[in-house]
Amino acid sequence: MSGLRIAYLGLAIWGAVHPMLWFVAWFRQEGLSLSGLLAAWHVNAATSGLVWDLTVAAVALTLWICAEVWVRRNWSALWAIPATFLIGVGCGLPLYLFLRTRAV
């Protein structure tokens, strides 16, 4: 495995673990309330802007993944879509790059 692929995999793992530490801390403090989490994401204009920025990035990444999978037939790259929406763009993008750069 190349150094670049290892870097992508490391970033995907970091993008999954590090944000989850913050979510777990929030859930411990506030309880398991998804509606409360959504409300916290829109507590002010700065957080709302960040949420919408990440939403647009996630949709753009999904379109890119679908377009490339259609052409390249790299079906395993589709795993990056649920990773993007269930974990975050910080995991989904490097995971996609990791899956995309595998030997064909």
Distance CA 63, CA 78 (A): 11
Q: What string of H, E and C letters represents the secondary structure of 57-93?
A: HHHHHHHHHHHHHHHHCCHHHHHHHHHHHHCCHHHHH
> Could you identify the residue written with the tokens 């589709």?
78
Q: Tens of pLDDT along 42-95?
A: 999 999 999 999 999 999 999 999 999 999 999 999 999 999 999 999 999 999
pTM, whole model, 2 decimals?
A: 0.90
User: So where are the chain's domains?
Assistant: 3-100
Among candidate residues 97, 91, 85, the one with its CA nearest the CA of residue 13 = 91
